Chain A
Amino acid sequence: MIKSVLIVDDDQEMLLALKDGLGKYHETFSLLLAEDGLKAIDILNSKTISLVVTDLKMPGMDGFALLAHIMESYPDIPVVVITGYSTAEMERLAREGGAVGYIAKPFMIETLARKILITLRKESEGGTLHSVSSGIFLQLMEMEQKTCTIRLSGKDSEKTGVLFFRDGELLDARVDDMQGKPAAYEIFSWDEVTLSIQNECPPMENRIQSDLQPIILEAMRLRDEKDSKDTESSDIVFEDVKAKPAKVINVLEDIKKKLEDNLGNRTGMEDLYYDNKWSSLLDQMEQIGSMFHLGSLKIGYIDSGEENALVLIPGKETTVLKINQKAPRDRVLQLLYD
């Protein structure tokens, strides 16, 4: 996950010099530039920022006011202060105001780069996970009573969000300028996420005031409601009764075709159908995978020692492929995994 660093300075030449000098770190962080505090706030409201570097003396909203605003509204975002008017008193005020770094101008760009890299590293000190189910993972955070800040980006969403946990309790969430429950609903509606964990949570009020489970359920309900509205407003109109079976048949037919194309009449397939009664078992397996950092579950195979074994494919609806003992098991699993 490439992180975004916001640099705020009214000195255009300084901004350009920093943009050039820090450009070589583009694989670690991208840069956003603002000429004063008010423009910085606009960016903070619309993007997920990992770190702010700000000058102190600026027209309009100065660096101290910006620092105070960030500490109030975005307490998880670290701020590094750079100033050309450095005094011991300025440094004391900046640090007391919450700045994690203070660098007097002129400085070597490498000095600032080092400070940025060290600070950003903290953001994912607890690890980074790709393609995990946010709901399941976050319930683990609750169960393990974790104190942490989790930054997430959705696989199908360009947005990124932040969740704050203290002792397993979800205190707050943020996506763009949305905070509290609405932001949590948005985040929990993302199917697969990439997330990074910071092992601390800044002091903040509890805007959520609810257990995690009801929040996740409400997020699912809102997403389903939105999906159904999207379907209703689509240009292509399906009759309700026919739309769903048509989709189901296509997915099942795709699997059948893939197996037959590769294995001919040796698929060993006895039956292929949807059955959501396996969902809770798959959820358990997904949890175990998350705990061992294995990513999301793609295929499950279960054999009860009876005539046929089952291959389970997780999804909105669980696909069940029943195969007999003659089926080339490893080949079938590999084909479905691919």
Chain B
Amino acid sequence: MKELLKDILDNDGVNGVIILTDEGKSIFEDISSKISMNPNEIDWNSFIDAIRGYREVELMYERGLIYVRKIEFGFMIVFMEIYTQMAMVRLNCDIVLPSLQDLKENKKYKQLFKR
């Protein structure tokens, strides 16, 4: 999975990517040490409920950006520095989306999607 998301993670300013299922279960995390919060400590369910129905959400904070992209089985969340070239990150997300959608059929990840 990390190889699949390499182009996103390699963007200057990207601090991490999380992939969540529609139920808020994390199936992939690659978070830089710059992010002091442990993503496992977050109740993603309520966040997912809030953004359900949106294709893209972009959040600009004082000290960083969060980009959320709907994928077939859940959401991809990208954490970035404020200076990150968003257009490039979105482009890389567009490129990787079809491969992510194939994941659900991949034996290695299949069990993660079982409730």
Contacts and interface: CB of A to CB of B under 8 A. Distances in A.
A294 B57 contact: no
A304 B54 contact: yes
B54 A298 contact: no
A151 to B, nearest CB: 19
A294 B56 contact: no
A32 B18 CA distance: 49
Interface in A124-139: 127, 130-131
A305 B35 contact: no
A292 B62 contact: no
B86 interface: yes
A327 B64 CA distance: 23
Interface string A294-314: 111111111111000100000
B56 to A, nearest CB: 4
A285 to B, nearest CB: 5
Nearest to A285: B59
Interface residues of B, number: 25
Interface stretch (B1-9, B42-50, B99-107): B42-50
B55 A304 contact: yes
Nearest to B42: A291
A305 to B, nearest CB: 4
A25 B27 CA distance: 48
Interface residues of A, number: 27
B42 A288 contact: yes
A302 B54 CA distance: 7
A178 interface: no
B75 interface: no
A300 B62 CA distance: 12
Given A284-B47, A284-B50, A330-B86, A289 B61 contact: yes
A248 interface: no
A284 B49 CA distance: 10
B54 A303 contact: yes
Nearest to B44: A288
Query: Most chain-B Cβ atoms within 10 A of its Cβ — which of A127, A288, A303?
Result: A288
B58 A300 contact: yes
A154 B55 CA distance: 37
Given A284-B47, A292-B35, A301 B62 contact: no
* Those 6 A-B pairs whose CB atoms lie nearest each other, nearest first: A295-B62, A294-B61, A301-B58, A294-B64, A305-B55, A299-B60
A293 B34 CA distance: 10
A130 B64 CA distance: 13
B56 A289 contact: no
